[in-house]
Amino acid sequence: MSKIFQNGIWAVALLGLAGCDDPAFRTAAPVAQTALAPAHYSAIADNGFTVLAVPLAEVPAEMLQQEVAYRTDQAVGTIIIDPATKHLYLITAKNRALRYGIAVGRAGFGWSGEADIAGRTAWPKWIPPHEMIARRPELERYRDVGQTGGVTNPLGARALYLKTNGVDYGFRIHGTPEWDSIGHNASSGCIRMINQDVMDLYSRVPDGTHVVVLTEDGQFPSKLTLPPPTPKTRKPKAAAVPVTEPDVFGLTGAGRV
């Protein structure tokens, strides 16, 4: 059997799979020879900072940026995030996408729905929400003032700010110095990317880009589903002070008689 014929059989088989009805639009297979060169993940000097090189041998191949076949009816330029597979897809053509590895919200912090990019920042300041400070008291020094941008900042080299119907729920697509968290449930709801990848995505998408976050089982979202609110910490009740019955005979003016 010739190699050309064998390739033809595989192509037919793949087309048969792609023909299955998949409401999650998750049919994604790498396109041959389109993974980025290793130089993409080398060290980068940017705005006075140096993004460190990524040790590619320690990152699963499926978490590195590559062009893939991706079956979807979404418009070119749309971002689709699949928390189940830990991938972000930027639709580049009909049934084609750039795929990036991501980290998503850990247990209790996942969300799904649709949003739009409402702003973008290079080397953003990070202001931890008060609920996070309550969970991690060591962040108290950043309350309301934030941590300035830099190589150790949790938001990494770039941040894309998401809003749904004009409301900011605090979700971001951003870089991270913790490249080893990619492929895991590791964040507080934001979408983390390798710094080199978020810099690449930042250069490709404008404000107003539509973002779809699939459900945990890979379905297209029918509504915005947010993580449950953080329980408020109750202040300890003050100790009860015993009430002493006053000596009515020692009172002057109005009083109980």
Specify if 87 maps to a domain: yes
Specify if 257 maps to a domain: no
Specify if 129 maps to a domain: yes
User: What is the domain-level CATH number for residue 159?
Assistant: 2.40.440.10
Specify if 9 maps to a domain: no
- Residue 33: predicted pLDDT: 39
Lowest mean pLDDT segment, chosen from 88-97, 119-128, 202-211, 231-240: 231-240
Is the pLDDT at 165 greater than 50, yes or no? yes
Identity (one letter) of the amino acid at 117? I
Specify if 202 maps to a domain: yes
Specify if 161 maps to a domain: yes
Structural domain span for residue 101: 24-230
Band (pLDDT 50/70/90 cuts) for residue 239 is low
Band (pLDDT 50/70/90 cuts) for residue 194 is very high
Lowest mean pLDDT segment, chosen from 71-75, 130-134, 165-169, 240-244: 240-244
Mean pLDDT of the chain: 81
Please write the tens of the pLDDT for every residue from 37-62. Answer: 678 999 999 999 999 999 999 999 99
Question: What's phi and psi for 88, nearest 5 deg?
Answer: -115, 130
Specify if 241 maps to a domain: no
Band (pLDDT 50/70/90 cuts) for residue 228 is confident
The structural domain count of the chain equals: 1
- Residue 233: predicted pLDDT: 55
Q: Which residues pair with 42 in a beta bridge?
A: none
Is the pLDDT at 118 greater than 50, yes or no? yes
Kindly report the pTM of this predicted structure: 0.76
Angle in degrees, CA 173, 47, 36, rounded to 5: 55
Burial of 43 (0-12, 13-18, 19+ CB in 10 A): exposed
Lowest mean pLDDT segment, chosen from 12-16, 87-91, 239-243: 12-16
Angle in degrees, CA 72, 176, 229, rounded to 5: 75
Specify if 33 maps to a domain: yes
